[in-house]
């Protein structure tokens, strides 16, 4: 699951700033730990730590036997389920998805040009989410949801995710209330009807297409799963197809939009990094939308993305696990079996023992300057998409979306921060804004870049910066 709200992020993060040691008790039998060795023990490959009952609240249905890759608690069951669809998210599969991303990038650029001409105020965090939603719709179903066209919350999907993610964070703590919540969700504005009907319609269309065509089938993900079911119906069920499609929708927008916002925001606050990235893109000689392979030949682009994910990871709380039978010593303290323990990426990513004394600073060069030992330590503790066997299965798709869009924005637009509206640093409720200028008409719009809240923006203060269309 790529996207999780940071509902519990501030208290967990702040607790670790108090000099009490690497262990913080956040609730009875619940502990947040800041220790590299502990992270490897808890999340590493072969770990015996299972997910806690908190994840039951993230099940797609009130029947706890019907899980998805994020909510399933058993490592064995997770491995079985992941194996069914792993090839769909592999690096080799990305090539087939690139035309879908290119289509959305072109529409996104057209919308920005329209806004510049009209001098219209828009929320860039919202538009980055529109981009991410439409890309995941195209990759999953071969059809965009229409966010980039409509510019609004199609099917109430954004509000649905916002409400359900927050609710799941709560009900994970009171999981016995989860079945009741599922029954009441449609009355609370968290009805899955639109997502479910959209998914079901495209699954049926894919199955019908399979019956009528035997070559040149569409390359979107739902079609690939339907093909896999046709080849091995005992292995892939209808539920597997539905949960794969719906999980993509739920997980495939927030994290990517947040990460894109983080990249753009920190580049604007670090002009030297923006200049270096722009020079790298220019030297590549690429004039259209870059291929994913071409972006991998841009080393500075890669560390810019990684650093933006480090300083603002989308997951804002410890991904709790249960201490296995016999208990274990973590960070010098013995924890009995059944204890809930976890490492918060917001804490780990700011650990000066791992990322250096300037860990709180956005500085992509740290990834290029590190020696082999330091580089290995940083990579081992980079948790933006999780670590170990439960690493987010959609990581490669998120990287595909970011790698292809960022060079286009940086190459085709000039950005300039407004001196009287600068803000140093993000908070969980910060938003900022962006001015876009069309060089031919000198018309100006302001675009809100937001989103560091992991979901909806909160209008507390803004940062204005200018963008001139090249």
Residue 145's contacts (CB-CB under 8 Å, 6 or more residues apart) are 133, 134, 137, 154, 155, 157, 198
For 231-287, the pLDDT digits (tens) are 888 899 999 998 898 888 888 788 899 899 899 889 988 999 999 999 999 999 999
pLDDT at 404 over 70: yes
Q: Inform me whether the pLDDT recorded for 456 exceeds 60.
A: no
Which of 223-237, 390-404, 451-465 shows the lowest mean pLDDT across its residues?
451-465
Mean of pLDDT over the chain: 81
Rounded to an integer, the average pLDDT of 127-140 is 93
For residues 342 and 195, the model is more confident at 342
CA 384 – CA 399 distance, rounded (Å): 12
Helix (H) or strand (E) holding 445: strand 444-449
Pair type for strands 321-322 and 50-51 = antiparallel
- Select the more confidently predicted residue: 290 or 11: 290
pLDDT confidence of residue 14:
52
Q: Please choose, from the candidates 82, 96, 136, the residue with its C-alpha nearest in 3D space to the C-alpha of residue 388.
A: 82
According to the model, what pLDDT value does residue 431 have? 39
- CA-to-CA distance for 235 and 155, rounded, in angstroms? 32
User: Phi and psi at residue 120, in whole multiples of 5°?
Assistant: -95, 140
Q: How confident is the model at residue 412 (pLDDT cuts 50, 70, 90)?
A: confident
Instruction: Return the pLDDT at 194.
Output: 65
Structure tokens at 87: 């090839």
pLDDT band of residue 443 (cuts 50, 70, 90) is very low
* Residue 40 burial (C-beta neighbours within 10 Å; 0-12, 13-18, 19+): middle
For residue 224, pLDDT over 60 is answered with yes
Higher local confidence (pLDDT), 82 or 27: 82
Q: Is the pLDDT of residue 290 over 80?
A: yes
The answer on whether 104 is annotated among ligand-binding residues is no
The answer to whether the beta carbons of residues 143 and 221 sit under 8 Å apart is no
What's the pLDDT score for residue 437?
44
Q: Which of 199, 369, 203, 353 is nearest to 300 (CA)?
A: 369
pLDDT at 426 over 90: no
pLDDT band at 298 (very low <50, low <70, confident <90, very high): very high
Give the model's pLDDT for residue 439.
39
Residues 19-30: tens digit of each pLDDT: 567 899 988 899
β-bridge pairing 321-322 and 340-342: antiparallel
Q: What local confidence, expressed as pLDDT, does residue 468 receive?
A: 54
The answer to whether 308 and 266 are in contact (CB under 8 A) is: yes
Give the model's confidence band at 65: pLDDT under 50 very low, under 70 low, under 90 confident, else very high.
confident
- H-only helix segments in 330-462: 345-348, 352-355, 365-369, 372-380, 395-412
Q: Model-level pTM?
A: 0.85
Q: Is a pLDDT exceeding 50 seen at residue 319?
A: yes
What distance in Å separates the CA atoms of residue 188 and residue 437, rounded to the nearest whole number? 41
pLDDT at 451 over 50: no
Q: CA 400, CA 135: separation in Å to the nearest integer?
A: 10
**pLDDT, tens digit, for every residue of 346-373?**
999 999 999 999 999 999 999 999 999 9
Q: Which of 38-52, 157-171, 325-339 has the lowest mean pLDDT?
A: 157-171
State the CB neighbour count (10 A cutoff) for residue 431: 25
Query: What are the backbone angles phi and psi of residue 121, rounded to the nearest 5°?
Result: -85, 125
Q: Which of 407, 408, 468, 406 has the alpha carbon at shortest distance from 441?
A: 468
Residue 13 above 60 pLDDT? no
| Buried-exposed string 371-382: b where 16+ CB fall within 10 A, e elsewhere | eeeeeebbeebb
Closest CA to 192 of 309, 62, 293: 62
Read off the pLDDT band of 382 (50, 70, 90).
Answer: very high
- Tell whether the model's pLDDT for residue 323 goes beyond 70: yes
- What CA–CA distance (Å, rounded) separates 276 from 283? 11
Which domains are seen in the chain, by residue range? 67-315+384-451 (1.10.630.10)
For residues 148 and 167, which has the higher predicted lDDT (pLDDT)? 148
- For the chain, the 3-state helix, strand and coil shares in percent, each to the nearest 5, are 55, 10, 35
> Which of 50-64, 113-127, 249-263 has the weakest average pLDDT?
113-127
Q: Could you write out the DSSP letters of every residue in 86-106?
A: GGGGSGGGHHHHHHHHHHHHH
- Per cent of the chain over pLDDT 70 is 78
Confidence of residue 470 (pLDDT cuts 50, 70, 90): low
């Amino acid at each position: 699951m790529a996207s999780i709200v940071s509902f519990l992020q501030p208290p967990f993060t702040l607790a670790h700033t108090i000099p009490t040691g690497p262990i913080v008790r956040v609730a009875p039998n619940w502990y947040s730990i800041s220790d590299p060795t502990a992270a490897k023990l808890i999340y590493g490959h072969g770990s015996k730590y299972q997910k806690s009952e908190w994840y039951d609240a993230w099940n797609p249905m009130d029947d706890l036997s019907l899980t998805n890759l994020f909510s399933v608690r058993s490592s064995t069951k997770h491995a079985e389920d992941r194996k069914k669809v792993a090839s769909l998210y592999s690096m080799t599969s990305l090539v087939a998805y690139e035309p879908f991303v290119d289509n959305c990038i072109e529409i996104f650029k057209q919308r920005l040009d329209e806004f510049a001409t009209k001098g219209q105020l828009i929320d860039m965090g919202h538009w980055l989410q529109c981009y991410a939603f439409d890309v995941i719709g195209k990759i999953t179903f071969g059809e965009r949801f229409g966010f980039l066209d409509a510019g609004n919350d199609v099917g109430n999907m954004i509000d649905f995710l916002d409400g359900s993610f927050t609710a799941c964070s709560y009900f994970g703590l009171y999981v016995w209330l989860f079945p009741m919540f599922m029954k009441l969700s449609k009355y609370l504005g968290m009805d899955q009807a639109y997502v479910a009907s959209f998914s079901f319609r495209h699954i049926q269309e894919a199955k019908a297409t399979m019956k009528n065509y035997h070559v040149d089938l569409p390359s979107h993900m739902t079609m690939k799963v339907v093909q896999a079911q046709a080849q091995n119906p005992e292995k892939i069920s209808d539920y597997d197809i539905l949960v794969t499609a719906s999980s993509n929708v739920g997980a495939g927008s927030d994290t990517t939009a947040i990460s894109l916002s983080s990249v753009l925001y920190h580049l604007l606050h670090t002009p030297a990094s923006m200049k270096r990235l722009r020079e790298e893109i220019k030297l590549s000689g690429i004039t259209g939308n870059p291929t994913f392979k071409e972006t991998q030949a841009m080393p500075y682009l890669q560390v810019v993305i990684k650093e933006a994910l480090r300083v603002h990871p989308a997951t804002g709380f410890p991904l709790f696990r249960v201490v296995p039978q016999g208990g274990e010593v973590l960070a010098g303290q013995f924890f009995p079996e059944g204890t809930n323990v976890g490492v918060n990426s917001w804490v780990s990513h700011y650990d000066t023992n791992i990322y250096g004394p300037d860990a709180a600073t956005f500085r992509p060069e740290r990834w290029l300057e590190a020696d082999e030992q330091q580089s290995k330590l940083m990579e081992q503790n980079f948790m933006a998409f999780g670590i170990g066997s439960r690493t987010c299965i959609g990581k490669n798709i998120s990287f595909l979306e970011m790698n292809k869009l960022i060079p286009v924005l940086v190459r085709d637009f000039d950005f300039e921060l407004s001196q009287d509206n600068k803000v140093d640093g993000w908070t969980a409720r910060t938003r900022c804004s962006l001015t876009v200028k069309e060089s031919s008409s000198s018309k100006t719009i302001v675009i809100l870049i937001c989103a560091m809240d992991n979901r909806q923006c909160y209008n507390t203060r803004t940062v204005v910066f200018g963008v001139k269309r090249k």
